[in-house]
Amino acid sequence: MESPVCEEFNEFVDNVCAQGMKSLNWMATIQLQLQTFSEKHRNACRELERERAAKRDDKEKAERLESEVKGLRELACQNAYVRVHLEKEQRLSWYTKGLVTFLMSDVDNLKKAANHNAFVLVLIDADAEEYMFDEKYYQGDPAEGGKRAALDLRAAVQEHIRNTKPELVQVPIVVKAFASGHGLAESLAKNGLFTADNAKNGVFRFASGFSEADDQFDFVFVGVESSRGNHKIKSAIRQYVESPTCKHLLLGARPDNDYAQMLEKYLPNLEVVAKIELLKSFRTSPGLASLPFPIVTIGSLFRTGPVINLATTPAVLESSTQELAAWPKPGENGEWPRSFKEVVPTSTSPPVDSVARPRPMFTKQTSNEMAILLNANYERVDFRLPEPSKKTIASYERKIQIEGKRFCFGFYLMGPCISTKCQFLHTGLTAAEQVVQRIRFRWKMCPMRQLCRDPKCAFGHHCFCDQTWECEFLDELHHVDLDSWKEVTRY
């Protein structure tokens, strides 16, 4: 039998065990609940994180949507601006089209008016010796001569326009010729075309006939001073050259560099440059010649040389005639004399400074212009030229010095000049001065030497001098056979 203490102790132990089991059960329950709560907490945290991530995504989406909406709003504003601007542009385009149509119609009307009132203008400084009308128009009845001059000028200009600008063939030609009546009468009297008493009346009648020949032709007297004509021509150029009604301008002005300075101002305007042409005369100023305006010839209307005071030069013409008559001539059978003896004119009268002719009149010393001279060895020989007077040589050189350029060798010695851009002189030499020109050219040795068979060749084919050590001709071209030769046309 156990003691009460043991029973109490056992009871105590049982109670303690029962309480311990109860505590363990409670703790197990608490542990299970804690695990459950921990799992729920983890789940809640994961869900919260998912929500947060979702919110971030939603925020980013919202921001993107906001940015897109903002962009769409801006595009909408731009679209509205573009639409308004486009409407304005359309209205402006309609207005512009209407304005262009109106302006085109206006331009067409202006063109029609300009073409209806179009004209070709010819300006002539008629008392300048370069553009005085030829002597043939002042001979006989001056009024009739003025009429013929106007009609010939009109025909020549029409022909030139037909060849160069056929689109202007139907355009009227307006001619303005300006002159000092006193100066023109004085020049014509000096030239022997009028007497001093009737010169002014003759010039007046010529001008009347010129102006009456055509309604568009005017011969205008500008007063005593010839410079007034320059002022009138320059004023006409300024007034008409840029006008659309003036389709073309032919200018015959004295060789004054003031015209060059004036025309230079129009060079930037290509339409004006295409309008202007300069009428060719026997003298052109270097300033005008340097400009890009064509220099054209229209018939034989004007003088081809300076005005000569015939009242003081009767012996001059006689001297020129005697000098030409002294040249050797072929015999009746077509053969030349056996001697090439130099012929020196016996007259001591001064030479003619300038006798105007439309073409150079050099007399070739053969009976046939296609003939040449060959000696017994079939070598080309030249006839000896007459020795010109010192005054003729001085006159020739003075003209070159005045003009600043030499005379064209091809034009005077070999026939018409074929160059379209020849810068040398083609007018102004007298027959005696042409001999000087030919002598100067004879100093140049022909490339074919005595084998040359060209009848128009003006080079030297042998030399008459004895200074072989200083002469540019070859030694064998000196002292050639001149004793037996004849004129031949078959080579």
- Residue ranges of alpha helices (H) inside 117-172 are 142-164
The answer, yes or no, to whether residue 362 has pLDDT greater than 50, is no
Find the mean pLDDT for residues 316-341.
36
Question: What is the reported pLDDT for 217?
Answer: 95
Cβ 254 vs Cβ 227: under 8 Å: no
Find the mean pLDDT for residues 30-51.
87
The answer, yes or no, to whether residue 216 has pLDDT greater than 90, is yes
Contacting residues for 219 by C-beta, under 8 A, at least 6 apart:
126, 146, 177, 179, 206, 207, 208, 210, 211
Question: What is the reported pLDDT for 152?
Answer: 95
- Cα separation, 445 vs 456, in Å, equals 15
Checking phi first, is residue 317 left (phi over 0); if not, alpha (psi -120 to 50) or beta?
A: alpha
* CA angle in degrees (0–180, nearest 5) for 261-265-269: 145
The answer, yes or no, to whether residue 475 has pLDDT greater than 60, is yes
Cβ 288 vs Cβ 260: under 8 Å: yes
For the segment 92-150, what is each residue's pLDDT rounded down to a tens digit? 888 788 777 777 777 666 666 656 789 999 999 998 888 999 989 988 899 999 999 99
Max Cα distance, the chain (Å): 207
Instruction: Extract the tokens encoding 345.
Output: 């004119």
Q: What is the CA radius of gyration of the chain?
A: 54
- Cα separation, 259 vs 228, in Å, equals 14
The answer, yes or no, to whether residue 429 has pLDDT greater than 80, is yes
Helix, strand or coil, per DSSP, at residue 68: helix
Lowest mean pLDDT among 167-181, 379-393, 405-419, 424-438: 405-419
Q: HSE-up of 457 (CA within 13 Å, CB side)?
A: 23
Cβ 323 vs Cβ 388: under 8 Å: yes
Helix, strand or coil, per DSSP, at residue 97: helix
Confidence of residue 418 (pLDDT cuts 50, 70, 90): low
Q: Which of 385, 425, 158 is nearest to 280 (CA)?
A: 425
Confidence of residue 157 (pLDDT cuts 50, 70, 90): very high
Question: Could you tell me the strand order of the sheet in which 485-488 lies?
Answer: 380-381, 372-375, 485-488
Contacting residues for 311 by C-beta, under 8 A, at least 6 apart:
190, 192
Question: What is the reported pLDDT for 114?
Answer: 58
Mean pLDDT for all residues in the chain: 79
Question: What is the reported pLDDT for 209?
Answer: 95
Confidence of residue 352 (pLDDT cuts 50, 70, 90): very low
Handedness of CA 98, 101, 102, 104 (dihedral sign): positive
The answer, yes or no, to whether residue 366 has pLDDT greater than 60, is no
User: What pTM was computed for the model?
Assistant: 0.47
- Cα separation, 237 vs 259, in Å, equals 10
- Cα separation, 402 vs 428, in Å, equals 12
Find the mean pLDDT for residues 266-286.
88
The answer, yes or no, to whether residue 208 has pLDDT greater than 50, is yes
Find the mean pLDDT for residues 229-247.
91
> pLDDT higher for 199 or 354?
199
Q: Which of 148, 152, 124 is nearest to 137 (CA)?
A: 148
Confidence of residue 490 (pLDDT cuts 50, 70, 90): low
Q: How far is CA 464 from the centre of its chain?
A: 47
Question: What is the reported pLDDT for 309?
Answer: 56
Residue 390 sits at φ, ψ, to 5 deg, of -65, -35
* Amino acid in position 31: Q
Confidence of residue 334 (pLDDT cuts 50, 70, 90): very low
The answer, yes or no, to whether residue 86 has pLDDT greater than 60, is yes
Q: Which of 326, 319, 322 is nearest to 349 (CA)?
A: 319
* Amino acid in position 21: M
Question: What is the reported pLDDT for 425?
Answer: 84
> pLDDT higher for 309 or 427?
427
- DSSP annotation string for 232-286: HHHHHHHHHTT-TTEEEEEEE--S-HHHHHHHHTTTT-HHHHHHEEEEP-S---H
Confidence of residue 308 (pLDDT cuts 50, 70, 90): low
Q: How far is CA 218 from the centre of its chain?
A: 29
The answer, yes or no, to whether residue 193 has pLDDT greater than 90, is no
Of 183-192, 408-417, 459-468, which one has max mean pLDDT?
183-192
Cβ 448 vs Cβ 376: under 8 Å: no
Helix, strand or coil, per DSSP, at residue 120: strand
